[in-house]
Structure 1
Amino acid sequence: MNTNLLMLWGYWDEIYQRCTRLTYIEKGNNIFRVVPLRYRGETLRTSDERTIHDGDLILKIHIHNYYFATLCRGVQDELRVALLLRRHILQSLPRLAAFLEAMEEREQIKGIVGTTMLHKGVAPLGFSISDVPMNWFFRYKRWYLRLMLRLVHPNGKRRVQTWKHDMPLKRVYMSKELLLARYGQGASTGDTL
């Protein structure tokens, strides 16, 4: 990625951060930013058979795209980018679990929920996956995430053109109980990098 473009993105990211109320889990050392909010959508059933209903309190997770872009700078191999993302998600999940455990609203939070096009390979990490309705909000989000992919991915332009009609936006989610059991204090995931 062009250094000047990355610098401009850094300025934009600071503005975005302030406007969205996103909280860093651990700035510069965690791939997630989060915001507690009420879930809006169809009922979600997690892999451990728990449910997240419309109106439940969740921790909305966002991959910190700018931070990840800085980590990927100079990486040209597509597989290395995917492995780098997986490694950082695995390293970030225990800190996310600790953050949730320390929240005042932890008893009311039902789980973590995010929206992404990078959903392949997340099921073994404990996430469940479902479709999102393609309303105006998710159409905008899909456009935005395609732009991010184009900027971050070593072959982003070609990848976006190739996937023009096949880049499904998915909801990824996990119950609070599963997150804490797998990644909370004293837990061992057994996942390998």
Structure 2
Amino acid sequence: MKQAIKKEQRHEAILSSLAKLDYLTRSQLQALHNLGSARNASRVMKSLEPYVTKFLDGEAVYYLTKEGRERTGAKKVRKRTIQARHFIMRNDLYIALGCPKNWRNEVKLVVKDVVSIVADALFVKDGRYYIIEVDNQQKMSVNKAKITKYRKMVELGVFKTEPRFVWITTTEYKRKRLLELCKGLDAKVYLASEFH
């Protein structure tokens, strides 16, 4: 009886994670839910059919089916897509930063009619904003425009404490370029390869 309850709680926790984070790799699920070996993680995820489905992108990538969305109350329909890599990179940061409880994805920040921007994610820790940005296949001109908007928000005194900008990107060249663009801001840039 206890075993069945524990199994059900684990299933609910996994489905909730997928509802919140959209796409999760097998290794991310192992890290988030202590699933042990790759073989055990795959077995646990197989037992969650028909609520989850997967595709391969280096490793298994899981997301909710229609039944999974209905069970969790998730509204967004996710499909197999190349954009999933963007979500996976963002989730690597979510895990690396300790799974902040107040983490929110796709947050629109608006300062009257002056500046408007959508952060890939953000959370607050000790009264300080952490703004998450993912650069998977984005043009550097788009990143530059975003950084300019963030700089404007800092100059306007939008944040009580200077925010920390946390980026994840794909190449050493892009990391150096982002750090140059963020000069004067509190910014940290990770490479996606650091997490795998």
TM-score, normalising length: structure 1: 0.31
Tell which has more relative contact order, 1 or 2 (C-alpha 8 A, sep 6+): 1
Please tell me whether Structure 1 or Structure 2 has the larger radius of gyration of its CA atoms. 2
